[in-house]
Amino acid sequence: DTGVSQNPRHKITKRGQNVTFRCDPISEHNRLYWYRQTLGQGPEFLTYFQNEAQLEKSRLLSDRFSAERPKGSFSTLEIQRTEQGDSAMYLCASSWDRGGSYEQYFGPGTRLTVT
């Protein structure tokens, strides 16, 4: 299967701990997106990369959130000093920005529970 993969699928952590999630996009895709999804809501955009460049990060929820894509392949999303309000599903998506398709392919998500 060459779809988008995310690890871990589930993460339970205690308040105040740091967590890191990984996303592996479809290999030929140059764009990678991170979203947060809470219960009963649609995906909320957080940040995106084109290759290794982070082109939009103003919508990261606070300075506790950061993302990297060091070699333009996989990406990591880190949340420092987690809070209970960070509990949510974190989705990753990738796309190929040529041909004007604008279609995003989503991974299965990482469900974070902060206790």
Q: How far is CA 108 from the centre of its chain?
A: 11
Q: Does 25 bind other proteins (CB under 8 A)?
A: no
Q: How far apart are CA 75 and CA 32, in angstroms?
A: 8
Torsion, Cα 28 32 87 89, to 10 degrees, reads: -50
72/80 with CB nearer other proteins = 72
CB of 28 to other proteins, least distance (A): 17
Q: Does 113 bind other proteins (CB under 8 A)?
A: no
Judged by CB under 8 A, which stretch of 12-20, 36-44, 63-71, 76-84 contacts other proteins?
Answer: 36-44
Q: How many residues bind other proteins (CB under 8 A)?
A: 24
E strand residue ranges, 1-115: 5-7, 10-13, 19-24, 31-37, 44-50, 53-56, 65-68, 75-79, 88-95, 105-106, 110-114
Q: How far apart are CA 102 and CA 4, in angstroms?
A: 16
Q: Does 74 bind other proteins (CB under 8 A)?
A: no
89-108 residues in contact with other proteins (CB under 8 A) are 91, 93, 97, 100-108
Judged by the rule CB under 8 A, the positions of this chain that interact with other proteins are 4, 31, 40-45, 48, 55-56, 91, 93, 97, 100-109
